[in-house]
A and B are shown apart, each in its own frame.
Chain A
Amino acid sequence: MSFLGSVLGWLLDPTHWQGSDGIPTRIAEHVVLSGLAVGVGVLIALPIGVLLGHTNRAGFVAINVANIGRALPSMALLALALPVAFSLGLGLGFWPTFLALVPLAVPPILTNSFVGIRSVDRDVVEAARGMGMGEWGVLRQAELPIAAPLMIAGVRNAAVAIVATATLGALVAGGGLGRYIVDGLARQQPDRLFVGALLVALLAVATELGFGLFERLAVSAGVRNTSQQPRSSAAATPR
């Protein structure tokens, strides 16, 4: 039987669709872990980026943190998270992976929310002030809607990097789709390996496209149609 035939056979085997090592469970583990990490990353980085952007402070740091993040390899983050998780008594699996994922989310979200807020036309901000808006009003009604596309792009880059890196969690006994890849390598089962890789790749691409769709829905039409809107300059770092 050809290789792709055996992959199809593996996929159609009903035992691979149930239980704790079944495809639905592994996808759920992958999505939940990634979602939590992105969520915590947003909670940490977005307020800081918005605050620094609004007050125009620490610009050098806010812009360069993304480059530092790029130089941090996922494997290295996982390597450094493992002793930390252990010394905190959190064990293997979920926690060391989670601790490795959150730092990946912070740089792109922080930089993009800072740049997004800073790139709002100063005339617009002045006009908002002139209309009697306070700091909060300027932020909520002028800066945030205009910065939204860049901020969403930052979260998207973080999410794609996290979905990719969550795969490596299988190396430290975590769940998720990386299990199939790591186990497929260890047991020399190319069909398991290939299915795992395919599902991870599809999940990453779906994350990217999903955020594109979300951006279309979330960004106000007036903002989307202005051509001056800075597009997200840097794509996510492959992980």
Chain B
Amino acid sequence: MTPGEPLIRWDWIARNLDAIGQRIAEHVVLTGIAVGIGLLISFALSIWIVRQPRWYGPVTWVTGILYTIPSLALFALLIPFTGLSLLTAEIGLIGYTLLILIRNIVSGIQSVPADVREAALGMGYTQRQVLWQVELPLALAVIIAGVRIATVTTIGLTTVTALIGQGGLGYFILEGIQRFFSTPLIVGAVLSVTLAILVDGALVLVQRWLTPWTSARS
């Protein structure tokens, strides 16, 4: 950003390909852990909510408040207790996936037509079989839609975790700001957006592959 300096210095990119690859890998791992564990927690809570619907309100209220808290503030609130650690980053990132995932899993299961459920029960399915063999497969498209939103959001939020020393593509943005050097700034920003778009596209393919009937119908 000094006058006369080009906006992007390609030689910097060429010299730092290894570092770029490493930061992309960190970013993917941080996001993967968050969405994976977030999905497990949301899944357990959603199954419980479907059985005990009166808890839906309180659970979405709490996860909604969590969702509203700015990421940098949430990380900062945790630092005095869990330090500048991976745990701090992941507690925050996992927290942000819950609202969307729980909403989509619950509404996916609830949107299964009552006659389908009753037909399965009439055929002698147990509650557990109805859940795994009827409700979840039918809810899968809505669940994956939730996973897409949660993943894209997490990839964006993971850029902030560089501030608490956990790497990822935000590291380049931070480096660019601190050194007044636009090349890493732009590399970090462009790669995180590109990563979000690519992963979103990949999840669309996963959804088509897992639920072929949804595309055949439309």
Write the B161-204 contact mask toward A (1 if CB under 8 angstroms, else 0).
01110000010011011000010011011101100110010000
In Å, the complex CA distance between A71 and B199 comes to 11
User: Which residues 3-31 of B sit at the A interface, judged by CB distance below 8 A?
Assistant: 7
Evaluate contact between A70 and B68: CB separation under 8 angstroms: no
Evaluate contact between B193 and A71: CB separation under 8 angstroms: yes
In Å, the complex CA distance between A227 and B200 comes to 33
User: Which residues 113-145 of A sit at the B interface, judged by CB distance below 8 A?
Assistant: none
The reply on B99 being an interface residue by CB < 8 A is yes
Write the B78-96 contact mask toward A (1 if CB under 8 angstroms, else 0).
0110000000000000001
Residues of chain A with a CB closer than 8 A to B65's CB: 205
Evaluate contact between A71 and B200: CB separation under 8 angstroms: yes
Evaluate contact between B71 and A239: CB separation under 8 angstroms: yes
In Å, the complex CA distance between A83 and B108 comes to 44
In Å, the complex CA distance between A204 and B74 comes to 11
Residues of chain B with a CB closer than 8 A to A238's CB: 67-71, 96, 153, 157
Contact (A200, B72) CB under 8 Å given A79-B177, A82-B1, A82-B177? yes
Evaluate contact between A193 and B173: CB separation under 8 angstroms: no
Contact (A75, B74) CB under 8 Å given A3-B80, A204-B68? no
Write the B146-158 contact mask toward A (1 if CB under 8 angstroms, else 0).
0001001101110
Write the A64-106 contact mask toward B (1 if CB under 8 angstroms, else 0).
0000001111111111101100110000000000000000000
Evaluate contact between A205 and B74: CB separation under 8 angstroms: no
A21 to chain B, nearest CB (A): 17
Evaluate contact between A197 and B68: CB separation under 8 angstroms: no
The reply on B137 being an interface residue by CB < 8 A is no
The residue in chain B whose Cβ has the minimal distance to the Cβ of A170 is: B72
The reply on B136 being an interface residue by CB < 8 A is no
B56 to chain A, nearest CB (A): 14
In Å, the complex CA distance between A185 and B149 comes to 30
In Å, the complex CA distance between A159 and B67 comes to 14
Q: Is the interface of A mostly helix, strand, loop or mixed?
A: helix
The reply on A178 being an interface residue by CB < 8 A is yes
The reply on B123 being an interface residue by CB < 8 A is no
A67 to chain B, nearest CB (A): 8
The reply on B216 being an interface residue by CB < 8 A is no
Residues of chain A with a CB closer than 8 A to B174's CB: 171
Partner of B99, one of A167, A184, A194, A235: A235
The reply on B37 being an interface residue by CB < 8 A is no
Residues of chain B with a CB closer than 8 A to A208's CB: 68
In Å, the complex CA distance between A82 and B7 comes to 11
Contact (A71, B99) CB under 8 Å given A171-B177, A204-B70? no
In Å, the complex CA distance between A236 and B67 comes to 8
Evaluate contact between A181 and B73: CB separation under 8 angstroms: yes
The reply on B46 being an interface residue by CB < 8 A is no
B190 to chain A, nearest CB (A): 8
Evaluate contact between B153 and A236: CB separation under 8 angstroms: no
B179 to chain A, nearest CB (A): 12
Residues of chain A with a CB closer than 8 A to B160's CB: 73-75, 168
The residue in chain A whose Cβ has the minimal distance to the Cβ of B157 is: A238
Partner of A76, one of B159, B164, B197: B159
- Report, nearest first, the 8 A-B pairs whose CB atoms are least far apart: A164-B70, A73-B156, A197-B76, A76-B189, A75-B159, A200-B73, A197-B73, A79-B189
Q: Can you give 25 contacting A-B residue pairs, CB < 8 Å?
A: A73-B156, A73-B159, A75-B192, A76-B188, A77-B189, A79-B177, A82-B1, A82-B185, A83-B1, A164-B70, A168-B160, A172-B177, A193-B76, A194-B77, A197-B73, A197-B77, A201-B73, A201-B74, A204-B68, A205-B69, A234-B149, A235-B100, A238-B71, A238-B96, A238-B153
Q: Please give 4 more A-B residue pairs, beta carbons under 8 A apart, in addition to A200-B76, A201-B74, A238-B157.
A: A164-B72, A171-B174, A185-B79, A236-B67
